[in-house]
Amino acid sequence: MAKGKYEKWLEPESLILLEGWARDGLTDEQIAHNMGITARTLYLWKEKYIQIFQSLKKGKEVVDIQVENALLKRALGYEYTEEKVEISEKDGKKVVQTVKHVVPDTTALIFWLKNRKSEKWRNKPETPDTKQDETLNRLIEAVNNVD
The pLDDT tens digits for 74-116 are 999 999 999 999 988 888 888 999 999 999 999 999 988 888 8
> Do residues 58 and 18 make contact, with C-beta atoms less than 8 angstroms apart?
no
For 120-133, the pLDDT digits (tens) are 887 775 666 566 67
**pLDDT tens track for 55-74:** 999 998 988 888 899 999 99
- State the pLDDT at residue 2: 45
Task: Over range 129-141, report the average pLDDT.
Answer: 70
The residues pairing with 96 across neighbouring beta strands, listed in sequence order, are 84
Please say if the pLDDT value at position 1 is more than 70: no
Q: Burial letters for 15-51: b for 16+ Cβ neighbours within 10 Å, e otherwise? A: bebbbebbbeebeeeebbeebebeeeebeebbeebeb
Q: Are 21 and 31 in contact (CB under 8 A)?
A: yes
Please tell me the distance from the alpha carbon of residue 82 to that of residue 89, in angstroms, as a whole number: 23
pLDDT higher than threshold 60 for residue 3: no
Q: Is the dihedral of CA 92, 95, 96, 100 positive or negative?
A: positive
Q: What global pTM score does this model have?
A: 0.53
Instruction: Report the pLDDT value the prediction gives residue 127, as an integer from 0 to 100.
Output: 62
